[in-house]
Amino acid sequence: MDGKRKPDEVYRNTRKIAGPGIEVVIGEIANVNPEQISVSVNGHEYKGDFMVISLGVEQITEYKLNNFGHDFYTLDGATTFNEKLQNFKGGNIAVVVSALPFKCPAAPYEAAMLVESIIRKRNNR
């Protein structure tokens, strides 16, 4: 969003976190059994002492808000927002949380502070 990284620098290969005692499993969850502390993925059952499940989310565009502004939760949204911000000549910028819950509670505050910092450096606050 602030242009400090190029799109190919945003993503990391999650398989690189694998190591002794850490197995990276990518696939569709077929079954979760909290009593047995197990999960079935791709036809294989994984058991453990503890269970942490981090479900991915997909941003929905139900209200087509990207027709009226830019989101910074997607690579395309952050990239186009940065392009517009580079050409910003002054005026009002609103950081909107359109519905609850949302992906990252700190993100709107971080976005507002980044925007303020960028336009302050360019003297068009």
Question: What is the value of pTM for the model shown?
Answer: 0.63
Does residue 86 belong to any structural domain of this protein? yes
Helices (H) and strands (E) in the chain, counts: 2, 3
Same domain as 106, residue 65: yes
Same domain as 64, residue 37: no
Total tally of structural domains belonging to the chain: 2
Does residue 3 belong to any structural domain of this protein? no
Check whether 30 has a pLDDT greater than 90: yes
Does residue 38 belong to any structural domain of this protein? yes
* Contact criterion met (CB below 8 Å) for 53 and 62: no
Strand partners for 6: none
Same domain as 86, residue 40: no
Does residue 1 belong to any structural domain of this protein? no
Does residue 53 belong to any structural domain of this protein? no
Same domain as 114, residue 92: yes
- Mean pLDDT of all residues in 112-122: 91
Same domain as 80, residue 42: no
Same domain as 25, residue 72: no
* 95 CB-contact burial (10 Å; exposed 0-12 / middle 13-18 / buried 19+): middle
Predicted confidence (pLDDT) per residue in 62-108, tens digit: 677 778 888 887 888 888 899 988 889 988 999 988 777 777 888 89
What range does the domain containing 35 cover? 8-47
